[in-house]
Homo-oligomer: A and B are copies of this chain.
Amino acid sequence: MINLLIDKIKEQNSPIVVGLDPKVEFLPECVREKAFKDFGHSSKAIGEAFYEFNKGIIDHIYDVVPSVKPQIAMYEQYGIEGLIAYKKTVDYAKSKGLVVIGDIKRGDIASTAEAYAVGHLGQVTIEGNTERGFDSDFITINPYMGYDTIKPFLDVCKEENRGLFVLVKTSNPSSGDFQDLKVGDDFLYERVAMKVDEWGQEHMGQEYSYVGAVVGATYPEVGKRLRELMPKTYFLVPGYGAQGGKAEDMAHYFNKDGLGAIINSSRGIIAAHKNPKYEQFKNEGFAMASRQAVLDMKKELEEALR
């Protein structure tokens, strides 16, 4: 799966992942009103609207980005109906050939981690019948509980040819509260990075490992240091655009081969139709606005990485 992701990045020359993190205020009026008309002012309506919104965007971007990253919390917030929309979004994105990164940030002790791994990357067997819960290609996971909570995810990844992105240094302002604590001469995030590098050696693809790292766009100097510490690790880089990450800093996150990072943008792409810059695409044209925003981001990155 990491090989496929890299092939698609090369083919499209597009190290971009689009965060499918819908909010009600991002919905164009046409999508919102249709859902309310069909299902009332209910979570079912929101779920339907989120899915229609995502579907429109996917249809207009699947040939210019390799990957999407739905943030499960935005769906989980609306309970079961929201999670149905999450599942449908994952399945639809895969049907269009996109690599799906489920942004779920799970983590728990062994048997529980195994359940999450099976639910999001694997399959359950019920008296010989198999079913897949949420069928993503990669998921994000939290390392705080240590190796035996990572191992079950690794095992399922090996079986299923899927991958992980482990939180190392996150993009938020308080990420330093614990991640930046000094452990001997290292920052905690460096210690986590060394472990991610080690875990990744257990499951290598062609050039990069199946165990990636989440490294926030908002700390480019840290990105540079982590690039050295984890040469074979793909970086998932959140925090570009709305959170403050700048194109000119993104070079730090890449290796000399031009690979090694995939930059996430969510609001900047999916809510582009609300941006005066893309006014010609507003309301029904929302998905065209997302496509244009992707093409603009691609250009920005190309220039910055040249």
Q: A43-B126, A115-B77 are in contact. Are A174 and B192 (CB under 8 A)?
A: no
Produce 1/0 per residue, A97-112, CB < 8 A to B: 0000000011111101
Give A113-143 as 1s and 0s: 1 = Cβ < 8 Å from B's Cβ atoms. 1011011100010111101111000000011
Q: How far is the CB of A175 from chain B (nearest CB, A)?
A: 5
* A131: contacting residue among B42, B147, B177, CB under 8 A: B42
Q: Known: A116-B73, A182-B183. Contact between A173 and B148, CB under 8 A?
A: yes
**Residue A73 contacts which of B83, B119, B148 (CB distance < 8 angstroms)?**
B119
8 Å CB contact of A80 from B87, B115, B174, B188 = B87
In the complex formed, the residue of B with least CB distance to A151 is: B174
| Interface assignment of A195: CB less than 8 Å from any CB of chain B | yes
Q: Are B144 and A143 in contact (CB under 8 A)?
A: yes
Nearest Cβ distance between residue A195 and chain B, in whole angstroms?
7
A178/B76 in contact, CB under 8 A: no
| Identical copies of this chain, number | 2
Interface contact A182-B184, CB-CB below 8 Å: yes
A79 touching B134, Cβ below 8 Å:
yes
| A96 interface contact, C-beta 8 A | no
Q: When chains A and B are docked, how far (Å) is the Cα of A259 from the Cα of B41?
A: 44
Contact of A176 (CB < 8 Å), options: B42, B106, B120, B146: B146
Q: A163-207: contact bitstring with B at CB < 8 Å (1 yes, 0 no)?
A: 000010011111111110111100010011001000000000000
- The yes or no answer to A290 lying at the interface (CB within 8 A) is no
A92 in the interface (beta carbon within 8 A): no
Complex CA distance for A142 and B108, rounded to whole angstroms:
10
In the complex, chain B residues whose CB is within 8 Å of the CB of A143: 144, 177-178
The reply to whether B43 and A127 contact each other, CB–CB distance below 8 Å, is no
* 19 CB-based A-B contacts, threshold 8 Å: A24-B126, A40-B129, A45-B126, A46-B124, A46-B126, A73-B116, A77-B115, A77-B116, A78-B131, A79-B119, A79-B133, A82-B133, A105-B107, A143-B177, A146-B172, A146-B174, A147-B177, A149-B172, A183-B188
Shortest 7 CB-CB contacts between residues of A and residues of B: A79-B133, A146-B174, A146-B177, A148-B174, A41-B127, A73-B115, A77-B115
